[in-house]
Amino acid sequence: MFDENSQVFSEDYINQELENLIPPSQPKVIMSSQSQNEPLKIGNPFTPQQTNSNPAQVISSGNKLSRKRLSTQHPVAADNNKKPKSTCVHKEEIVNLDPNKLLSIHDCLEYYSSDPIVKEYVDLLIEIKIIPVIPSQSVIESYVKSDMNTNVPTEISINLIKNFMTVFQNNYFRNNVNDAITHEVHLSNPIVQFSVPDYQSLPLKTLEDVTGAKKMFMTLIQTIYSEGSKFNTEMKLLRNMKYIHDTLLNSNSQTDVTQIFWNIYCIHFLKAKTEFMTRFKIKTFDWSRVKSKIKHIVPKWRRDDQPPPVEPFNYYANDIVKRIEEGEENFDGNAVASKYNEMKVKVNEAVEKLKTQPPNKDSGIPKFTERPRIKPTRKRNNTNNSRKQIPENSGQPNLSRIE
């Protein structure tokens, strides 16, 4: 499920490149002939490099999902890809920025013309030309301690803090979901409302296959949401980069904009991280001990270890059974054949009548189901505990869960 080779950055490389950007005691002065309407040229130390060294924690820590497309793994996702999609005009530029396809946008490029979220992501990436990443903690602290005397508007600071805190929440969700997938823990039990005739007599193989299908379904759902959460994380980082970029563009700063950019970025990142750790209840789970929520459903006689039922039963036979018991049914061959022929005539007349009528919800294929069941009314619990996606557990907060 996971492909560690998909992480293409060397941790030593990234940290070294970032440390090279840490400003000296006096800011550099640059001679800029850049027009105010042109995007700033921010130094980007995150250019992907092929390496055999240990992969770095770039977007978030924890396991990373394989970069293979879902359509190559899951028929459900493949069906959706049969719909015609448009080709992104910026595909080549994005591949040049991220040749190793670390970012999640590569799986969404065909939605560029139809999804405004994807379009915003692509446009921001093309404009800023910085891969949305989180530097290591040591590099962040180094930038925070460098005094650049930068003033950021209050509204921009608030937006930066909110987006960074959403990044931490996304990473917390994604890290836990990925760990659950690794340990084959299914975080929800899908309810299948499917009426099967003679359910009591289904072979055990069928029941086990249904349970296996539910597990595959939940694994697919968890994988898809994890990938979507990764996209959200990158989007929030890009928006923050855009906020800082536009702030520096409007300030006409004559100092090194690269140094100021990362100084603002890291200061707000660290402040948001401090607040998030204070406000959000972070828990550490031992996923090897968490039980899957998938329930293996079997008939009652199997649960109670009883012999299988042999007495015939069919809900729709109740009327004829009653007539047989009261001696009202004639089993003479000619009488049975005559009754059958009468039924065929009525059915053919009904079919011809349906052909002359406009289609509506009441006409169509008859429903061959078991005895109609009245769905019980379920009381909705509106408390916060009823909507938890991650199981409860106790433990010490772990910073790695949000990074």
Q: What does the longest C-alpha to C-alpha distance in the chain come to?
A: 109
- Whether 343 has a pLDDT exceeding 70, the answer reads yes
Answer with the one of 236, 264, 297 that is the final residue of a domain.
297
Give the span between the Cα atoms of 156 and 272, in whole angstroms.
13
Question: Angle, to 10 degrees, between the axis of helix 154-182 and the axis of helix 204-251?
Answer: 160
For residue 361, the model assigns a pLDDT of: 58
What pLDDT is stored for residue 397 in this prediction?
A: 53
CA–CA distance, 330 with 176 (Å, rounded to integer): 67
Residue 263 sits in the same domain as residue 356: no
* 277-328: pLDDT as tens digits: 999 888 888 898 999 999 999 999 999 999 998 988 888 899 999 999 999 9
What is the average pLDDT across 92-116? Answer: 92
Does 254 share its domain with 197?
yes
The confidence score (pLDDT) of residue 135 equals 84
Q: In terms of C-beta density within 10 A (0-12 exposed, 13-18 middle, 19 or more buried), how is residue 296 classed?
A: middle
**CB atoms near residue 71 (< 10 Å):** 15
| One domain, residues 223 and 361 | no
pTM score of the predicted model = 0.69
Give the model's pLDDT for residue 232: 96
Mean pLDDT to the nearest integer, 157-182: 95
Q: Residue 60 falls within a domain, yes or no?
A: yes
Lookup result for tokens 């909110």 = 162
- List 10's β-bridge partners, or say none: 55
Do 277 and 228 fall into the same domain? yes
The CA distance from 207 to 213, in Å, is: 10
Question: What does the DSSP 8-state code read for residue 9?
Answer: -
Residues 174 and 228 reside in one and the same domain: yes
Q: Count structural domains, the chain.
A: 2
SS3 content of the chain, % helix, strand, coil (to 5): 50, 0, 45
- Note the pLDDT of residue 387: 45
Is 389 inside any structural domain?
A: no
Residue 303 lies in a domain: no
The reply to whether 390 falls in a domain is no
Q: What is the pLDDT of residues 222-275, one digit of tens each?
A: 999 999 999 999 999 999 999 999 988 877 665 678 888 999 999 999 999 999
Could you tell me the pLDDT band of residue 9, with boundaries at 50, 70 and 90?
Answer: very low
Which of 265, 297, 329 terminates a domain? The answer is 297
Q: DSSP string covering 311-362, please?
A: S---GGGHHHHHHHHTT-----HHHHHHHHHHHHHHHHHHHHHHHTSPP-TT
Asked whether 287 and 183 are in contact (CB, 8 A), the reply is yes
59 in the same domain as 148: yes
- Do 38 and 74 lie in one domain? The reply is yes
The single-letter code of the amino acid at 35 is: S
- Three-state DSSP at 10 gives strand
Measure the N-to-C terminal CA separation of the chain; round to a whole number of Å.
Answer: 21
In this prediction, residue 17 carries a pLDDT of 44
Same domain for 269 and 336, yes or no, is: no
Q: Give me the phi and psi of 106, to 5 degrees please.
A: -60, -30
Percent of the chain with pLDDT over 70: 67
In this structure, what are the phi and psi dihedrals at residue 315, rounded to the nearest 5 degrees?
-60, -40
CA–CA separation, 20 and 28 (whole Å): 13
Report if residue 384 sits inside a domain.
Answer: no
349 and 274, same domain (yes or no):
no
Q: What is the dihedral of CA 207, 208, 209, 213, to 10 degrees?
A: 100
**Residue carrying the six token digits 């996923």:** 287
One domain, residues 233 and 192:
yes
For residue 259 the two structure tokens come to: 């140094």
Q: State the Rg of the chain over Cα.
A: 31
CB contact burial 153-191 (16+ within 10 A = b; e otherwise): eeebbebbbebbbbbbbbbbbbbbbbbbbeeebbbeeee
Residue 388 inside a domain? The answer is no
State how far the Cα of 359 lies from the Cα of 363, in Å rounded to an integer.
Answer: 7
Q: Poorest-confidence range of 73-82, 223-232, 352-361? A: 73-82
Domain co-membership, 348 together with 250 = no
184 torsion bin: left (phi>0), alpha (psi -120 to 50), beta (else): left
Each residue of 314-332: pLDDT tens digit? Answer: 888 999 999 999 999 999 9
Q: What angle do CA 151, 152, 157 make, to 5 degrees?
A: 145
Asked if residue 256 belongs to a domain, the reply is: yes
Residue 11, domain member (yes or no)? yes
For residues 208, 209, 211 and 213, what is the CA-based torsion angle, rounded to 10 degrees? 170
Same domain, 230 and 86: yes
Residues 23-51 have pLDDT tens digits of 333 333 332 334 445 666 666 543 333 22
- Domain stops at, among 268, 297, 326: 297
With a cut of 80, say whether residue 130 has pLDDT above it.
yes
How far is it, in rounded angstroms, from Cα 322 to Cα 320? 5
Residues near 7 by beta carbon (within 8 Å), at least 6 away in sequence: 55, 56, 58, 64, 102
- DSSP per residue, 229-243: HHHHHHHHHHHHHHH
Cα separation, 161 vs 240, in Å, equals 9
The domain of 40 spans 4-297
Number of other residues whose CB lies within 10 A of the CB of residue 15: 18
Backbone angles phi, psi at 253, to 5 degrees: -65, 140
Is residue 230 within 8 A of residue 172, CB to CB? The reply is no
